[in-house]
Amino acid sequence: MNRFSRIRHHVDMKDVRQRHLEEVAVKKIIEKQIEEEKRIHKEIYDAWKSNWRDDILDEGMTTQMLTGILPSAGNTDLEVIQTGLTGEGEIDYGEGGLGDEVMAGDGQYTCFTNLDSINNAEDLYNTGTLIRLIDQETKQYRNQLHGGGSHGYLPAIPGYVHGMMRNVKPTGDYNAYDKSRRTREGLPLTQNGSDLYYHLYGQTNDVLGKGYGSWNSNDGVTSQGFGTALVFNGPGSPRYIALKPVDSTGFDTIKLHAAISSDSIVNTYRDSEHQGGTLRDKRVQVYYWAGNHKDYKRVSTSNLYDGNKFVSGDGWRPINMKPNGEFDDTVDPYIIKHTANRDTAGVDAFGVPYSTSNKLHPYSISLPEYTRGKNARYLIIQVDKTNIPQDSFALASIRFQRKNTLRVPSISKPLTDIEAAPFVRVGQGVGDKNAEQRRKRVRDMINASLKYGQTKFGDGVITSTNID
């Protein structure tokens, strides 16, 4: 007891506090060192990421899924494809006539550059790439193939490619009326005085509620309206445009900004019985390319000559026909319907109501899953024209939306599926090494980081299990 008392006599509260402070300081140093170790590990890991896909597969975990869920985007237009003219329309056609065209300035005819020839469709089953129309009433293909067609000076307009459209053209002056007016008025001539097509109304002004532009021989353009747009008013049928391939895996809705008169596309028209009684359908439909779909099955029962060979001609299909040939009665193929089934009024971006007759207005329908893909092709098509009373319309843009939550196939695949590859990354500079080599490389770098920590902070501070 006397000995204990003597020891206690020499240990006072000041000593205890000092020891506590020293322990706290050491703890903070160690914590700082640990954080530094973590930072070093992370830097090395980020620099030398392993191919975890291959590593996991080596472990036998081949059933794990990459789940790609895309939330609804509501009414947002996720992709906009203009079908008119950009810039101020400063396009120089050059001197002379057809075949001597050049494109200059800041304008671009998006009514052509956003389209592609039907001949460029991937024809895996030798169906032929020409269009064979189908009657929605009888669900039978007609016995005729249709390719592209030009109108007037279309081949002279920069960007035009044969096969991208038929009986469709951009709005503007095809008769040199504006050239004549400018000559009479002593005004500068457009297009170097060329007699070729002139856009007249300038760049596309894709605003809901806008109508057609106006022009007269005294004043020239008095209103730009919605500017340059594609007009479906050719003398024959079908009328169509073919879009460039689009990645539509994340979309479920296609929408048009179109202007159509209230007395246009009023109803269908049936030929007289001696003509076969065919129902002439003027409503605007959406077709898709099924000629490269994995589930494609031939539907047509006869072959037609496409100019080179006999083909089935059933690669292009309305969206209510599946690749296997079945019709889906739940799918609506008509994006512009009869007058009675269309909106009569709309509201513009400022909340101002407008009449939809001959004014840009949105028209949309759903795209079924089997029509969507990474390189999907679509047609905006009017199967028949009758001019009873009218059947024309103008198109300023095509838009894609995602109204619903979607599971995207390309990111909802087993890790063994090739479509999962874009969502898996291999570390930079290791693409030519196998999984074991990549694992060894990572181990070496981590061990190097441990040695670095020991050198910098001393033994006993940084500890880790050896991963060799």
pLDDT number for residue 100: 46
Report pLDDT digits (tens) over 13-63.
666 566 666 676 667 777 777 777 677 666 655 655 545 444 444 444 444
pLDDT number for residue 277: 76
pLDDT number for residue 90: 60
Q: What are the backbone angles phi and psi of residue 451, rounded to the nearest 5°?
A: -65, -40
The answer for 366, left when phi > 0, alpha when psi is -120 to 50, beta otherwise, is beta
Q: What are the backbone angles phi and psi of residue 281, rounded to the nearest 5°?
A: -105, 110
**In 6-118, beta strands by DSSP E:** 65-66, 69-70, 79-82
Q: For residues 149-156, give the mean pLDDT.
A: 76
The segment with the largest mean pLDDT, out of 31-45, 90-104, 339-353, is 339-353
Report pLDDT digits (tens) over 244-271.
999 999 999 999 999 999 999 998 888 7
CA distance 36 to 233: 72
Q: For residues 322-328, give the mean pLDDT.
A: 97
CA distance 95 to 136: 48
**pLDDT band, very low/low/confident/very high, at 154 (cuts 50, 70, 90):** confident
pLDDT number for residue 120: 97
Ordered alpha helix ranges (H), 48-193: 52-58, 110-113, 177-185
For 99, the token pair is 């075949």
pLDDT number for residue 106: 61
Domain residue ranges of the chain, discontinuous segments joined by +: 14-51+428-468, 69-407
CA distance 109 to 84: 6
pLDDT number for residue 462: 55
CA distance 257 to 82: 9
Q: For residues 131-151, give the mean pLDDT.
A: 91
CA distance 234 to 257: 19
**pLDDT band, very low/low/confident/very high, at 407 (cuts 50, 70, 90):** confident
Report pLDDT digits (tens) over 204-241.
999 999 999 999 999 999 999 999 999 999 988 999 99
pLDDT number for residue 423: 44
pLDDT number for residue 38: 72
The answer to whether the beta carbons of residues 206 and 84 sit under 8 Å apart is yes
Angle at 386 between CA 174 and CA 283, to 5 degrees: 95
pLDDT number for residue 4: 47
pLDDT number for residue 275: 63
pLDDT number for residue 89: 57
- pLDDT of 465 > 60? The answer is no
Mean pLDDT of the chain: 81
pLDDT number for residue 126: 95
What type of residue sits at position 320? N
**pLDDT band, very low/low/confident/very high, at 104 (cuts 50, 70, 90):** low
Least confident of 92-96, 225-229, 330-334, 407-411: 92-96
**pLDDT band, very low/low/confident/very high, at 156 (cuts 50, 70, 90):** confident
CA distance 111 to 230: 7
Residue matched to tokens 């490269």? 292
For 409, the token pair is 């196939």
- pLDDT of 360 > 70? The answer is yes
CA distance 461 to 465: 13
CA-to-CA dists, residue 212 to 151, 200, 201, 203, 209, angstroms: 20, 12, 9, 13, 10
- pLDDT of 466 > 60? The answer is no
CA distance 118 to 381: 12
The answer to whether the beta carbons of residues 336 and 265 sit under 8 Å apart is yes
The answer to whether the beta carbons of residues 221 and 112 sit under 8 Å apart is no
If one compares 182 and 31, the residue with the highest pLDDT of the two is 182
**pLDDT band, very low/low/confident/very high, at 292 (cuts 50, 70, 90):** very high
Instruction: Determine what percent of the chain is predicted with pLDDT higher than 90.
Output: 52
Q: For residues 326-345, give the mean pLDDT.
A: 97
- pLDDT of 102 > 90? The answer is no
Q: Which residues contact 311 (CB under 8 A, 6 or more apart)?
A: 126, 127, 128, 130, 145, 303, 304, 305
Report pLDDT digits (tens) over 424-435.
444 445 445 555
If one compares 20 and 148, the residue with the highest pLDDT of the two is 148
The answer to whether the beta carbons of residues 270 and 278 sit under 8 Å apart is yes
Q: For residues 114-126, give the mean pLDDT.
A: 97
Closest CA to 346 of 252, 257, 270, 266: 257
